[in-house]
Amino acid sequence: MLDFPRWKILSIAIGLALLVSLSIPSFVPKSVRETWPSWMPRPAVNLGLDLAGGSYLLLEAQTADVAKAKLNQMEEQVRAEMRRDPRIEIGDVSVQGGKLTFMVRDSAKVDAVRERLLAITGSGVGTTGQREWDVAVVDSSRFVLTPTDAGLQQSIDTAMNDAREVVDKRINGLGTLEPTVVREGGNRIVVQVPGLDDPTALKKLLGQTAQLEFRLVDTTADPQQVAQGIAPAGSVLMPYADGGGMIAVQRQVMITGGMLVNATQTYDPQSGAPGVTLQLDGAGSKRFAKVTQENSGKPFAIIVDNKVISAPRINEPILGGSAVINGGFTVQSANELAIALRSGKLPIALKVVQESTVSPELGADSIRAGITASIIAVVAVIAFMILTYGRFGLYATFAVVINVLVILGVMGLLNATLTLPGIAGFVLTIGTAVDANVLINERIREERRRGRSVMQAVELGYKEASRTIFEANVTHAIAGFIMLALGSGPVRGFAVVLLIGIATSVFTAVVFTRMLVTIWLRRNRPAEINI
């Protein structure tokens, strides 16, 4: 026990001092922290929605669109597959009634068509072996493709997971700290953004599908027919985003958002108006250069979510792989469009079905209540420990205070978020942090009653109790990891504080107090201890 080496004492003291220093920024207002020199640590604990206030949105996916998109995608696959060499002639493809049907012109090629369809309709959903599509032949030459329930559910799950990632990217693009974006059930996504008290811009950002397309304008279209809603063959009518009527654009899409590498809000060098600069990938750059070379002098429509943002004329070939969208933007709307394009297209439309704003005043009340509870808990624990175990209780008190500061330092270092359940976990950790010292002290008492010397009793007390302490905290940690892995929102907030508290409390209660006791015993070598 008395062989506690000096290097170990220094390591513990320096390590705890560094972690405690990391807790300081959490007690300093953000405005003050931003004035600190760059070399000073600034990690601070973030406050969750229930403490800092903010916006809550519940988004519901329009899953019916997934079935429609799945049919349209299969229609394109079927057409492409039948055009493949050797080509198989088929009639018109219909996608009505949730089914895809078409006729094979040469009934002798029905088997060949079936073979090609089985190759593109999926090998099975997960481990169930159930196919994504039912393929049937009626009237000897008419094929009917119907998506199975398992296939539809798999597509919805994939779309929801992708949508959650896109929503997460868009919110992080706003520079908001610690948003919470989680799936709820099969078709909903919960969004919590602390510190954002106006959800309007957030709803607008998340409501954008951000489907980007570049198409050539059909200059042969008759303006009178366009005004009557009639599009020329091979073209479609699309509205201007600013409500300026309709315009005919070719059906063929020249550039898509899938070719996009980056999108940033910029300013027009001549007019100074806000705009969005797009950077295309290698394939997109080549295609963009070719299209602008072959269509110089023609207008080119830039379309987002089936609305024409602008239709500038191509004055010269654009070879750099970048393009600028100008369409009467404000700085905010241009920035939102850039974020939406940069984060990718939403694979499924999301509708806001519930929204609420949590007032910062409510969070302030929660913080005050949490601080009050923590102070009362700390004072009560300190009083109990000192009155019961004397000097050893005082050491346990030091450990509790150090433990609280270290938890805050670690949370700040991890950029963790403190929520109301997290405060509950904090108070619980304070209460249980001294359990280890109670076990150690009671074990020392027992050894003294057995007639052991002070040194032997202290050494055996720590040695025997440590095993029990570690085993008990391992079970707590297992429960904490399960809550962290399977829980969401408040449960995860509680689990984070609990896990950090378990690690720090074991260290401070066992290692730190043992170091203090060792130093005292070395200096004084008492014949009796008051415990």
129 with 278, same domain: the answer is no
Contact 176, 196 (CB under 8 A): yes
First-residue to last-residue Cα distance in the chain: 18
Domain holding 253, by residue range, is 209-339
Residue 259 lies in a domain: yes
Are both 216 and 312 inside the same structural domain? yes
Task: Give a yes or no: residue 430 inside a domain.
Answer: yes
Residue 311 and residue 374 in one domain: no
Choose one of 147, 162, 191: the last residue of a domain: 147
Report the Cα 290 to chain-centroid distance in Å: 38
Residues in the chain: 531
Residue 254 included in any domain: yes
Phi, psi of 64 (to 5 degrees): -65, -30
In this structure, are 402 and 483 located in the same domain? yes
Rounded to an integer, what distance in angstroms lies between the CA atom of residue 231 and that of residue 229? 6
Asked whether residue 279 falls in the same domain as residue 236, the answer is yes
The answer to whether the CB of 339 falls within 8 A of the CB of 260 is no
Percent of the chain with pLDDT over 70: 95
- Which one, of 178, 70, 74, lies nearest residue 118 by Cα? 74
Rounded CA-CA distance 441/389 in Å is 7
- Among residues 116, 131, 147, which one ends one of the domains? 147
Phi-psi region for residue 236, left (φ > 0), alpha (ψ -120 to 50) or beta?
Answer: beta
Assess whether 218 and 269 both reside in one domain. yes
Q: What is the pLDDT of residue 101?
A: 93
Beta bridge partners of 133: 147
3-state secondary structure 71-137: HHHHHHHHHHHHHCCCCCCECCCECCCCCEEEEECCHHHHHHHHHHHHHHCCCCCCCCCCCCEEEEE
State the pLDDT at residue 33: 77
If asked whether residues 371 and 242 sit together in one domain, one would say no
The encoded tokens of residue 311 equal 């239709």
Place of tokens 């094979």: 104
Q: Which residue has the tokens 């750099």?
A: 320
| Rounded-to-integer distance, Cα 516 and Cα 524, Å | 12
Predicted confidence band at 529 (pLDDT cuts at 50, 70, 90)?
confident
125, amino acid identity: V
Token code pair at residue 201: 């811009």
Quote the CA–CA distance of 83 and 77 in Å, as a whole number: 10
Burial class (CB in 10 A: 0-12, 13-18, 19+), 31: exposed
Whether residue 170 is contained in a domain is answered as: no
Q: What is the CATH number of the domain that holds 46?
A: 1.20.1640.10
Confidence (pLDDT) at 67: 84
Confidence of residue 416 (pLDDT cuts 50, 70, 90): confident
Q: In what order do the strands lie in the sheet with 260-267?
A: 260-267, 274-280, 322-325
243 and 286, same domain (yes or no)? yes
Q: Which of 215, 213, 291 is nearest to 252 (CA)?
A: 215
Task: Name the residue among 501, 474, 328 with its Cα closest to residue 411.
Answer: 501
Digit-coded pLDDT (tens) for 192-240: 887 776 777 777 777 777 788 889 999 888 888 888 888 888 888 999 8
Neighbours of 201 (CB within 10 A): 15
Q: Are 126 and 82 in contact (CB under 8 A)?
A: no
- Co-location of 329 and 364 in the same domain: no
Beta bridge partners of 181: 191
Question: Is residue 222 in some structural domain?
Answer: yes
Full-model pTM: 0.59
Residue of 422, 449, 438, 512 lying closest to 472 (CA atoms): 438
Whether residue 334 is contained in a domain is answered as: yes
Please report where in the chains the tokens 């209780």 appear, as a residue: 393
Tell me, yes or no, whether 86 and 37 share the same domain.
no
Q: Which long-range contacts (CB under 8 A, 24 or more apart) does 461-470 make?
A: 462/1, 462/510, 462/514, 465/436, 465/439, 465/440, 466/440, 466/510, 468/439, 469/435, 469/436, 469/439, 469/440, 469/506, 469/509, 469/510, 470/506
Looking at the chain, the whole-number percentage of residues with pLDDT higher than 90 is 6
Place of tokens 């519930």: 354
pLDDT band, residue 382 (cuts 50/70/90): confident
Q: Is residue 233 domain-shared with residue 111, that is, in the same domain?
A: no
Residue 520, domain member (yes or no) = yes
3-state secondary structure of 248: strand
Establish if 39 belongs to a structural domain.
yes
d(CA 131, CA 54) in angstroms, rounded, equals: 44
pLDDT of amino acid 124? 62
CA distance 20 to 27: 12
Q: What residues does 61 pair with on adjacent strands?
A: 350
Last-in-domain residue among 106, 126, 147: 147
Structure tokens belonging to residue 85: 């060499």
With 60 as the cut, is the pLDDT of residue 135 above it? yes
Count how many domains the chain has: 3
Output the pLDDT for position 3.
Answer: 66
Distance CA 324, CA 315 (A): 14
Q: Which of 50-54, 213-217, 314-318 has the highest mean pLDDT?
A: 213-217
pLDDT, tens digit, for every residue of 8-38?
A: 889 999 999 988 988 888 888 777 777 877 7
- Kindly report the CATH number assigned to the domain that includes residue 90: 3.90.1070
- Decide if 170 contacts 206 (C-beta within 8 A): yes
Confidence band of 363 (pLDDT split at 50, 70, 90): low
Tokens of 488: 């969401």
Q: For 71-121, what is each residue's pLDDT tens digit?
A: 888 888 888 888 888 888 888 888 888 889 999 988 888 899 988 888 888
Give the C-alpha separation, 428 to 339, whole Å: 41
In whole angstroms, give the CA distance from residue 311 to residue 287: 18
Phi, psi of 46 (to 5 degrees): -85, 145
Please choose, from the candidates 151, 163, 140, the residue with its C-alpha nearest in 3D space to the C-alpha of residue 73.
151
Give the pLDDT confidence score for residue 362 in this predicted structure. Answer: 60
Q: Based on the domain organization, do 390 and 514 belong to the same domain? A: yes
Could you tell me the CATH number of the domain that includes residue 240? 3.30.1360.200
